[in-house]
Structure 1
Amino acid sequence: MVENDKAAIIEVLNLYALALDAHQWHLFDRVFTEDVSADFGPAGAEWTGLENFKKSFAEFHDRLDSHQHTMMGQLVHVKGDMAYAFSYGNWLLIRADAEGGPSWVGNGWYHDVLVRTSRGWRIQKRVCRLLDWTGNPAVPEPHKEHQPDMDTNSLHQFAEAKQVSFLEALDER
């Protein structure tokens, strides 16, 4: 059963990237809970509630000509009807009219808390952090509440501070 849960959770994590890049915001309903808490350091924002999150992400990403989000290295720890996941991500953002060049590439990670719902696994809490970036920082230009945080973060420092939910779940005895 746990292996089936892990496969279903990895599918949810990967569906996020496809839904985002295809601008299929309705698919976020298959990824996140209604009361999702999403803290995206690279976007410089934190959202509570799925509708607010979808609206804001659509506003930001609609300004770009294209983007590609890659999810990889997923680790999943299932504990009953809760699960903890960790993934690495790469984000390519393209905006042709950005002064200074059309692309920006970010690399970082996500750590998620998921819950089993009547409709399957959903992300209830997501934290995203930027490890490194290259390219034109004007591409992810601020838009409304978005104030991209270009500060880089070290995973081992977050782990030492006990701020990675997946690692904390593994350490629980």
Structure 2
Amino acid sequence: MNNEALDRALITDLLARYSWALADRDWSAWVGCFTADAHVDYSTAGGPVGTPTDAANTFSGMMSMFDVSLSSGGNVTISFSGDDKATVRSIYTMTMRIPGDQPTYMQASGWYNDTIVRTADGWRIQNRFEQLAYVKPA
């Protein structure tokens, strides 16, 4: 496998780890997907703008109403700028369940526009902008 193919695989793995950490509500692992100086913007979905740690604190409260949340991504495009930086776009879908006698299901979908950089710990998200496409009953 050449270096670019390996880097593409590692970036795709980073995005999968992000999705699993979100679904598992493993906020430490989720924050670990970002650089120390990362900036995130989830405002199109009513979410936070700021640091990943701030976002994790907000999301942990927001997601407490759901007993299940599944996050998946795909359609990943990666454009490299040198050896250590990439512009990445990917689609996500998140399905959530509000518990009860008659559980309520919701689905949100959109895409991420990311700047991902190589660090001493591997590829990490340096800048993430979420563009919400829709929220609907699932």
Normalising by structure 2, report the TM-score.
0.87
Q: Give me the whole-angstrom Cα distance separating, in 2, the residues matched to 1:90 and 1:50.
A: 20
Q: Which amino acid aligns with 1:68?
A: L
Provide Cα deviations, 1:128-165, integer angstroms capped at 9, x if missing partner: 112223218xxxxxxxxxxxxxxxxxxxxxxxxxxxxx
Instruction: List, as ranges, runs of 4+ consecutive aligned residues in structure 1 with deviation greater than 4 Å.
Output: none
Cα deviations across residues 10-69 of structure 1 (Å, max 9, x unaligned)?
111111110011111111243111222111145313332232122112121222111111
Which residue of 78, 82, 87 maps to 2:85?
Answer: 82
Alpha carbons 2:45, 2:132 under 8 Å: kept: no
Q: Which residues of structure 2 form unaligned runs of 5+? A: none
Cα 1:56–1:74, aligned 2, differ >3 Å: closer, same or farther? same
Counterpart Cα distance in 1 of 2:44 and 2:94: 10
1:1-173 → structure 2 map (5 Å cutoff) = 1-80=3-82, 81-97=84-100, 102-135=104-137
Give unmatched runs, 5+ long, in structure 1. 137-173
Measure the CA separation in 1 of the matches of 2:107 and 2:31. Answer: 27
Aligned length: 135
> What do you get for the CA RMSD once the two structures are aligned?
2.1
| d(CA) in 2 for partners of 1:71, 1:38 | 17
Computing the radius of gyration from Cα coordinates, the structure with the larger value is 1
CA deviations on 1:58-95 (whole Å, 9 max, x unpaired) are: 12122211111110111111222111111111111211
Deviation for aligned residue 1:96: 2.1
- Distance in 1, matches of 2:49 and 2:42, equals 8
Instruction: Quote how far apart the aligned CAs of 1:101 are.
Output: 6.1
Asked if structure 2 preserves the Cα contact closer than 8 Å seen for 1:36 and 1:123, the reply is yes
Q: Please give the alpha-carbon distance, in whole angstroms, between the structure 2 residues aligned to 1:14 and 1:120.
A: 14
Matching residue's letter, 2:71: H
